[in-house]
Every structure is written in C-alpha cells, then in structure tokens.
Amino acid sequence: MADNIARVFADAIATDPTRPLLTWYDDATGERTELSGATLANWVAKTANLLVDEVAVGPGDVAAVLLPPHWQTAAVLLGCWSAGLTVADTPGDVDVLFAAATRMAEADAWSAGERYVLALDPFALPMRQVPPGFADYVSEVRAHGDHFSPYAKGGPVEAELLARATARAAQWGIGRGDRVLIDTGAYPDPVDWLLAPLTANATTVLCANADPSTLPTRATTERVTHPLP
C-alpha cells in the first residue's frame, strides 16, 4: 500500500485526467461544481506552490485546516500533503492555517505563522472583506504555478491516514471505477469523503446540506454506482 497521499492522488487521475473526479453539490445554495482530475490537480499544485514559495514551508512543518467538506478543502488538504506538511487535528502551534470564514472564532485557538481564510463561495469568488490577520486563499493561490512535483516521502501520519482510508473503502465495497455518492453530513471526516474514494481509484459526488428527496434522482443523473449508507 502506498504511504504517500500525493502518489495516490496522481494514480487516481493518471488513467483519464479529464473524467469528473469530484462533483460538488450544496443543496442549501443550489451550487454544483464539477472538477476533472486535471482541474483539481491544478488547484492542488497552486496550493502546494503557495505553501512552498510564499509561506516557505515544507516537510516537517504543520498545517491546520479548519474547513468543512468542500471541493476547495480537497485542494487545500491535497496541496498540504503534496508539500510534505502534516495536517494537525488538535489546537496548538502550526506553521500555516486555513480556515473557513464561518470558523474565525475557532481559529483563535491556534497559533499560526500564516493564516488564510476561505469564503467557500460558488465559482471560487474572492472575498470582498478579508478578516484582519488573514489573507484570502482564493486571491492568493491563483497567482501561483500550475505544476508542482510532490515530495517523494509523505508526512509521518500519511501512511496511517491511507491505511484508514483503504480499510473504509474495503468496508464499503468501493472499487476501481466506482462513482460514490457521499452525504457530507454523515461523513465529515476527509478520510471518508476524500481519501477512501481516492485509494480505490473511484470518483466522488459530494453533497452538502443534502436534501434526501433529491438524492435518488441525483444518483441516476450522476451515474452513481455506489451511494454510501
């Protein structure tokens, strides 16, 4: 089993970078965003370049990611792992922090060298008013390069994350080429909504604020083969 999340991501898009890898729905706003493997890889590369070139972090450094399941969260997490960072899960001192605009109070519990805020708006629109002490992730990341060569060795906890994700994919019977429908309210852990499908080389339809009445039709429209229970 691979111990490098960047390699797992690269393998997941290698066969067909143009296929929809992650399709995002938010039933509270009506948003639908579809990202091919190539498009998501572009966002991941820009994020990793932001971290390395602007924040000057790399292997051995630590990030905090205070974000809900979202396609931009996928880009941030995969960018952090590509740059060799460890993603912390308990408040403390970190080198860089990414936080949703709705979680500013929670961000105060962390001490971070650099702080980025994400509005998570449709179409990745930049923020009109950026909170003091933060930079707007969307505005900053767009200026960085579209290609990044991930570090060969993953962070110290990546093998554990991938082992958990592989076990989850096996538990749910997710296989290569499956299209998985995931309710983020039921599965908020990125091991479940992001890494488990990637380890199985599956694609994802990710639904936030899911309206149960829409899911059967969505599953048909999106050609879902594997809705999570």
C-alpha–C-alpha distance, residues 48 and 225, integer Å: 32
Would you say 80 and 112 are in contact if contact means Cβ atoms under 8 Å apart?
Answer: no
Spans of all domains in the chain? 37-141
pLDDT value at 208 more than 90? yes
Task: Give the residue among 151, 155, 145 at the shortest CA–CA distance from 53.
Answer: 145
Q: In what order do the strands lie in the sheet with 86-88?
A: 86-88, 62-66, 93-100, 111-118, 135-136
pLDDT value at 29 more than 90? yes
What CATH code is assigned to 37-141? Answer: 3.40.50.980
Query: What pLDDT sits at residue 3?
Result: 73
Confidence of residue 91 (pLDDT cuts 50, 70, 90): very high
Q: What digits encode the pLDDT tens for the residues 137-196?
A: 999 999 999 999 998 777 678 999 999 999 999 999 999 999 999 999 999 999 999 999
What's this model's pTM, rounded to 2 decimal places? 0.97
Mean pLDDT of 126-137: 95
Helix, strand or coil, per DSSP, at residue 62: strand
Answer positive or negative: Cα dihedral of 75, 18, 16, 187.
positive
Structure token pair of residue 150 = 């991930």
Q: Which residues 6+ apart lie within 8 Å of 165 measured at CB?
A: 191, 192, 195, 196, 198, 199
Using DSSP bridges, classify how beta strands 20-26 and 31-36 pair: parallel, antiparallel or unpaired. antiparallel
Confidence of residue 89 (pLDDT cuts 50, 70, 90): confident
Query: What pLDDT sits at residue 46?
Result: 98
Q: Which residues 6+ apart lie within 8 Å of 28 measured at CB?
A: 208, 209
Longest dimension (CA), the chain: 47
